[in-house]
Structure 1
Amino acid sequence: MTTTTGLRHLIEQAHGPILLPGAPNALTARVIEQAGFEAVYVSGAGVTNTYLGMPDLGLMSITELVGHVGAMAEVVSIPLVVDADTGFGNALNVQRTVRQLERAGASAIQLEDQVSPKKCGHFAGKEVVSMQEMVGKVHAAVDARLSEDMLVIARTDALSTEGLEAACERAAAYSEAGADILFVEAPTTTEQMAHIVRTVPGLHMANMVEGGMTPLTSRDELGELGFSIALYANAAMRGAVAGMRQVMAHLMTHGDTVHATELMISWADRQGLVRKTEFDELDRRYAADLPFEGALS
């Protein structure tokens, strides 16, 4: 089973919402896979924060995103759900974006209906394109995918700008256009969350942003509300920054890390995470002074 078909099967067979942690880079994706999660979210905000050191304001390029997706796909075997922001342009750009990301290893691609440049879904001052324009983008994404098992996630940010009913209307229209998963961003109450799922048939994703607009809700309660995916887009990154600050504070205070090793993963754990033993074995196998087992005689 490929990672693409595996993602569809995972969502359909899950008893309750699947947990979808986000990763800003390949190393974090490895950590998420090692922890036992069955899929990973390539966070646009996370990549922008870590790679550029900038806020989530649509500053990342498609080339940068494709590079990160390719790096993650090379080192993990679980499906990648990729945040493609607004698709990097109009419907024609969306088609190229989908093809590039699918070839890079995406199992699902998320598109949103904000104007470009977009903003984080939990920032103020968002604007959305017309519903008709986004419907065209969803159609373009569906037509562009190489495999029908590559899922299209349609996100709307209209709740903050046009209200709950307008957001539900958009979600229904995006579903009709072919979106496999619906994502109404930034509801502010559990009542709104329940209304979205009850009003619009389909698979729904909930974004759990610590400190954001949406109330943090347990996995069980999200399941009771009817959500299929619980997204934790930047929990891993924020936890990593907290750890880095702790180690750096120790180094600044004490001038060394002699007594800070308990704050870090071990040397052996670090090398295991990046599979150094496997690379050493490959290095020995392909060494110039050793006969290659598969070589012709």
Structure 2
Amino acid sequence: MAARIEKGDAMSMVAKTLWLIETRLAAPPSLDELARVAGVSRFHLSRVFAATVGRPPMAYCRARRLTEAARALDLGLSVTEAGLAAGFESPEGFSRAFREEFGRAPSALRAGGGLAALALTTVHSLKDQTMTTLAPPSMETRGPFAVAGLRASYTEETAGEIPALWGAFAPHLAALDGAEPGVAYGVCIHDPETGAMDYMAAAWLAEGAETPNGLETLRVPGGRYAVFTHEGHISEIRRTTRAIFEDWLPRSGETPAGTPDFERYPPSFDPASGTGPVEIWIPLR
């Protein structure tokens, strides 16, 4: 008899798989890699993922890569550039896959066909409302500091695309690693008027250092912070932030400062598997 799959277990393995796919759009993982990170067999992952998302993991991965390639073509990249950015080894292979997915050649979109006619695959949202049980935070005071990185805007519906930003930022880490070796920052800049959020995948920028080409700089204010630790897989970090803002903060009597909060990824965090502790710093008045 087949083992019964609990809903929470299925959501966890699918979330880990989605995270790895988005992080590796330019260098797509194999089914073996996806199964290893999810902690299950290839067969088990394929069955549960297809039941949850609507297609097997490798087909979903291919569709996401081709969707991002279509967006790149629409922004002006050449067919060769868009294909390479999406992890295809040759323009011919990319063009063939593009036709199979969208029913037209990438050159047709490049010539001005537009995205509206394409059936794009956006990041699958799991609608996970689970909250982590929090350990009490430590209260820390720290000075201001600067980070350099890549920044993009997200909504609740598109937040699943954040791992792709980390994938794009990863090649820049070496240029910033000297200031705080092995440490990265995910900075959240919230707009209270619209509810939108900018997220920045970044690393510490030493005082007086020049910002590397292609990156932007952000200065994070100093002040008093509540510091939590997320212990689970990185795909589940929103469970921890939800518990902080929807449970701990209303009960704590504290008032948020309204400045950026941030995630600090220490050297013990493994970006390849998405495991290891992550600090979440919440600014308070």
Task: Tell me the TM-score normalised to structure 2 length.
Answer: 0.26
- Larger fraction in helix: 1
- Larger fraction in strand: 2
Task: Tell me the TM-score normalised to structure 1 length.
Answer: 0.25
